[in-house]
Structure 1
């Protein structure tokens, strides 16, 4: 059996990044290492984790592309489902997220918006998909 456990975002300041997700999405802190190089949030079945860029450099000796608001986002996103997309977009931007795309209704009825978090990662804020 295989289970998808967590996604790790490499960030400049683990504590600051965790605080953003606590404030915007009201997730609770699961764990943060004593040296603030790694932390996790309780987000449900799959965990969002954060590691410092310093730790990332230790783990990946050939380096990695760093997320930055100055560059285009990576071709990956984290999606957060809510019944009130507009409210959550406003809340995210009030805590420093950058608006990428206002809420739009898709042909299948879902409402979708995009923001970038304070580290530049792309976040989709959307209503549930109904079949």
Structure 2
């Protein structure tokens, strides 16, 4: 059996990053280490996790590109579905996100928008696919 279980975002401040998602997307914190260098949110079957850059560096010996706000976001996104796209974008921006692509309605009827979270990761906020 193979099951997609989690995504880990490498961030400078695990607790701050987790609180952004908790406060914006109404998730709950499932776990955070006493050192606050790794944590998980309760987000359904697939968990969003956070690891400090230092912890990640100890695991990934070959190194990696650190997400920085002065750069464009990586070519990957996290997606959150809601029937209140406008309200959720406003809440995200109030919590520290930056609007990256304003709301657009796709030819198939889906409403989508993109924000950058405080760690410069791309997040799509959209309605359910029709």
TM-score normalised by L of structure 1: 0.98
Partner of 1:74: 74
Residues in 2 aligned to 1:24 and 1:52: alpha-carbon distance in whole angstroms: 20
Unpaired runs of 5+ residues, structure 1, are none
Report how far residue 114 of structure 1 moved: 0.2
RMSD: 0.5
Give the Cα separation in 2 of the matches to 1:19 and 1:83: 22
Distance 2:10 2:123 in 1: 15
Give the unaligned 5+ runs of structure 2.
none
Partner residue, 2:108: 108
Cα deviation code 1:59-110 (max 9, x no counterpart)? 0111100111110111100000000101000000000101101111000000
Q: Which runs of 4+ in 1 moved over 3 A?
A: none
Tell me the SS of whatever aligns to 1:34: coil
Q: Distance in 1 between matches of 2:91 and 2:104?
A: 17
For 1:96, the equivalent position in structure 2 comes to 96
SS at 2:22 equivalent: helix
Aligned residue pairs: how many? 130
